[in-house]
Amino acid sequence: MTEEQIKAVKRKHGIDSDFILFVGAIEPRKNLARLFKAFDRSGLHRDLKLVLVGPEGWHTKEIFETWEGLPCREKIRWLDYVEDADLAALYSGATFFAYPSLLEGFGLPILEAMSVGCPVLTSNLSSMPEVAGDAALYVDPLDIDSIASGMRRLANDAELRKALAERGQKRVKLFSWERTAREMIAIYEHARDIKSRRS
C-alpha cells in the first residue's frame, strides 16, 4: 500500500489528519463509550482523529449519548461499511489500531491490523491476549485511565509502534486462514451447544 493510495482513501472518507482506527460493530461489548472517554481524556484529539469503521449494531443509545456529550466529538469520524481495499488502506495509514473490546470470540480485526503492520492497542482480557501475544500494548478495558494512558503511550512512542508492528507481522503468520476458520467454527459450535443446553 503506497502513501498516495492511503492519502487518496483518507480524502475519500473525509479524514484530514493522522488518526487512530477502530473496526467493528457499534455495540456495547466493543467498549466504545469508554474508548471515547479515554480519547477525550488522553488529549490526543488535539492532533489525531478517532475513526470508526463498522455498522451500527444493538443497544447503541449509551454509545451515541457518550459521543454527543464529548467536547472532542467533532474529532471522532464515523464510517459505516468501507470496501476491503479502503479498509486495508485505513489500517495501513492509522497511527495505531485501538480495540479495547470487553468480549471477543476471536478478535479478527487484530489480525487484520497486524497483517499490514499497524500497531495494536487492545484489552488484557477475553481472547485478545491469545490472538495478539507479544505484539500488542494491553490495557484494562474497564479502566478509562488505563485506556487513555495506553493511547498516549502508543501515540507518542514511535519506537514502540515500530516494535509492535514488526512483532505483529511475525505473529500473524502463525494464523493461517484455515486455522482461523477452524477456530471460528469451534467457537460457533460451542455457543450453539450452550444455547441448546439452556433451551
Query: Which tens digits make up the pLDDT trace of 114-168?
Result: 999 999 999 999 889 999 999 999 999 999 999 999 999 999 999 999 999 999 9
Amino acid at 9: V
The pTM for the full model equals 0.87
DSSP characters for 12-57?
A: HTT--S-EEEEES-BSGGG-HHHHHHHHHHHTGGGT-EEEEES-B-
**More confident: 106 or 40:** 40
* In the chain, domain spans: 3-198
Longest dimension (CA), the chain: 54
- At residue 180 the predicted structure's pLDDT band, cuts being 50, 70 and 90, is low
Average pLDDT, the chain: 90
Is the model's pLDDT at 175 over the cut of 90? no
- Domain spanning 3-198: CATH 3.20.20.30: no
pLDDT at 79: 94
Q: Which helix (H) or strand (E) holds 120?
A: strand 120-123
**More confident: 186 or 140:** 140
